[in-house]
Amino acid sequence: MDTIKEKTSRPSLSTMKKSIKHSIALITGATSGVGYAAGRMLAIEGYRQIIVTGRSLAQIQETAAQLAAETKIQVFTPLELELDSVSSVQSFLAEHVKRGQPVDFLLLNAGIMGRKELKLTAAGIEMSSAPLIGHHQLTVGLLRAKLLSPNARIVIASSEAARGDVPLFSYTDVAAFAAKYFQGDRTAAVEALLHSGPNVKYQPNRAFADAKLIGTLWVAALARRLPSGMAIYAVSPGAAPATNAVRNAGLLTRLVLIPLTKLIPGMSHTPETAARRYLNASEFGTDVSGQFFASPPKKLTGPIEAMRQPHFHDRANQEAAWQAVVKVTGVDLS
């Protein structure tokens, strides 16, 4: 399998500096952790404008100012974006339409683990899946408004948890779940997982793994729908415990798994190393669009590679994920 080394510089940087200076990036969840690190690295590597977003306008304005102070580069544009609010996504899109600036690199970084007790958004979506719903609305909105450049690259944060070989995490077999409870209707099965609805026993770690799995399936389906020249990838940041995404993790994860990953060499890495995975992926070609890149099987760090497990490549599951998200949001590309 092809692997991408995380600690080396971008392989084609020397030939891309001129074009990068004329490019625009958009990052969701940029107030801390991997999103913040990615913003800083993109500025240093020459992006002309970096739109950073967060749930609070005051907080993201503070983030943009801090990034500018750290990098000594004035390229950051702060905009409010609350992904679990349809009105917030629509307001963001309206503002971006007025600006009329096509995005070259869309980094869908925002994510969160579910709480110990089931919590749904106002739209009835389980919290772990809420970022995917908002990212779908955002991405399709940008595509409809022609606000992604012809050769845009899209990266969405995934997780090794979706593989099913991470301790304390397991995913739902969509086909078996559909066969058992939904007369084989996989779209209905995925929709139930998004809502943590009928026949779904809520478990925070499983909900998180399912959300990330559905996200990788959504990526594969979207890749088939993108205009020629554009590409999308699901990329796991790896184990980077120094982020806010784990703030709602269960006790076993927070008190056992996360401390272990910090203590054992090779079990975790910094937000900067995690962000480098995203930046490396922004240079991938269209030939691998739709694929999921993560650490080698049973590992949480190390060079990333395309995941080959069958459940990521089941086209019926991929289309079911797309149709379920479309049904939940009412937003499609057609």
pLDDT digit string, tens, across residues 95-143: 989 988 899 999 999 998 878 899 999 999 999 999 999 999 999 999 9
Average pLDDT, rounded, for the chain: 88
- Per-residue pLDDT at 18 exceeds 50: no
Alpha-carbon distances of 253 from 67, 192, 227, 247, 248, rounded to whole Å = 31, 25, 40, 10, 10
At which residue do the structure tokens 């200076």 appear? 21
Q: What confidence tens digit (pLDDT) does each residue in 270-321 have? A: 899 999 999 999 999 999 999 999 999 999 999 999 999 999 999 999 999 9
- Per-residue pLDDT at 222 exceeds 80: yes
Question: How many CA atoms within 13 Å lie on the side-chain side of 53?
Answer: 25
Instruction: Report the pLDDT value the prediction gives residue 22, as an integer from 0 to 100.
Output: 61
Select from 138, 146, 38 the least CA-distant residue to 80: 138
Instruction: Report the pLDDT value the prediction gives residue 265, as an integer from 0 to 100.
Output: 47
Backbone angles phi, psi at 112, to 5 degrees: -155, 145
- Per-residue pLDDT at 20 exceeds 90: no
Question: How many CA atoms within 13 Å lie on the side-chain side of 306?
Answer: 13
Question: How many CA atoms within 13 Å lie on the side-chain side of 76?
Answer: 30
Q: What confidence tens digit (pLDDT) does each residue in 194-218 have? A: 999 989 999 999 999 999 999 999 9
Please report, as a single letter, which amino acid is at residue 16: M
Distance CA 311, CA 301 (A): 21
Q: What confidence tens digit (pLDDT) does each residue in 255-266 have? A: 455 555 555 545
The pairing of strands 292-294 and 24-27 is unpaired
Instruction: Report the pLDDT value the prediction gives residue 7, as an integer from 0 to 100.
Output: 37
Query: For the whole model, what pTM was predicted?
Result: 0.89
The pLDDT confidence band at residue 168, using thresholds 50, 70 and 90, is confident
- Per-residue pLDDT at 15 exceeds 80: no
Q: What confidence tens digit (pLDDT) does each residue in 42-85 have? A: 999 999 999 999 999 999 999 999 999 999 999 999 999 999 99
Instruction: Report the pLDDT value the prediction gives residue 311, as an integer from 0 to 100.
Output: 95
Select from 323, 299, 262 the least CA-distant residue to 3: 299
- Per-residue pLDDT at 333 exceeds 70: yes
- Per-residue pLDDT at 1 exceeds 50: no
Instruction: Report the pLDDT value the prediction gives residue 139, as an integer from 0 to 100.
Output: 98
**CA dihedral for 61, 39, 144, 138, sign (positive or negative):** negative
Q: What confidence tens digit (pLDDT) does each residue in 228-256 have? A: 999 999 999 998 765 555 555 555 555 45
Please report, as a single letter, which amino acid is at residue 316: A
> What domains can you pick out in the chain, each with its CATH number?
3-329 (3.40.50.720)
Element (H, E) at 49: strand 49-54
The pLDDT confidence band at residue 37, using thresholds 50, 70 and 90, is very high
Average pLDDT over residues 154-169: 94
**CA dihedral for 85, 35, 115, 207, sign (positive or negative):** positive
Instruction: Report the pLDDT value the prediction gives residue 269, as an integer from 0 to 100.
Output: 87
